[in-house]
């Protein structure tokens, strides 16, 4: 597999793939306020990306998409016309969910912030994002490591470095470490 996709050839483990953060290629935002690194892009089901928010500015408006947003590092002030905005998030706050067409502005507080973005097209199977430290989880399609994490997938232990992602086929996982999970 190509390193530019972020999927590492040695990351194959049965019905899963490891996306190493070190291989993700940053792409500048149109407004110049940050960078995006695409983790996985499946246009009919989901897009997961890691964003660095360096300067204040608007999010891209994407009609027809349900968005979920969680901070991995730093703090950010988010404003928008309706709840759940305004909101100030840090790396412990629960993910926020909002429609892609909602105008949202972000302002990093005290330096750049790092965020995980989940976008699911309307009509696709719903996904949700949540934080978890250790324990078990079912129906997981992705494990994003906030810190170094170990994932037990059907008896196979997979080690992830901070900001790596494990993609699985809606399976059950046992975790040690702090992560953001994507599930159905």
| Domain end call among 121, 142, 160 | 121
Structural domain harbouring 172: 9-18+126-183
pLDDT at 173: 95
pLDDT at 169: 87
Specify if 3 maps to a domain: no
pLDDT at 94: 97
Same domain as 76, residue 47: yes
pLDDT at 154: 86
Total number of domains in the chain: 2
Same domain as 159, residue 70: no
pLDDT along the chain (184 residues), means of 10: 34 70 93 91 95 94 96 97 95 96 96 97 96 96 97 93 94 95 94
- What DSSP string runs through 25-92? PPEE-TTSSEEEEEEEEETTTEEEEEEEE-S-EEPPP-TTEEEEEEEEEEEEEEE-SSTT-SEEEETT
Cα(153)–Cα(15) distance, integer angstroms: 10
Specify if 162 maps to a domain: yes
pLDDT at 84: 94
Cα(140)–Cα(95) distance, integer angstroms: 16
């Amino acid at each position: 597999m190509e390193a530019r996709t972020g999927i590492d050839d040695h990351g194959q483990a049965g019905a899963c793939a490891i996306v190493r953060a070190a291989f993700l290629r940053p792409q500048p935002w149109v407004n110049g306020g940050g960078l995006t690194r695409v983790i996985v892009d499946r246009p009919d089901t989901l897009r997961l990306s890691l964003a660095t928010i360096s300067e204040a500015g608007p999010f891209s408006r994407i009609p027809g998409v349900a968005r979920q947003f969680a901070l991995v590092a730093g703090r950010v002030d988010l404003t928008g016309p309706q709840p759940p905005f305004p909101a100030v998030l840090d790396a412990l706050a629960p993910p926020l969910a909002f429609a892609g067409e909602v105008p949202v502005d972000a302002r990093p507080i005290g330096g750049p912030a790092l965020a995980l973005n989940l976008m699911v097209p309307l009509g696709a199977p719903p996904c949700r994002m949540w934080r978890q430290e250790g324990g078990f989880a079912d129906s997981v399609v992705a494990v994003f490591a906030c810190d170094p994490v170990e994932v037990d997938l059907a008896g196979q232990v997979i080690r992830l470095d901070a900001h790596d992602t494990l993609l699985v086929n809606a399976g059950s996982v046992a975790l040690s470490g702090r992560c953001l999970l994507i599930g159905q």
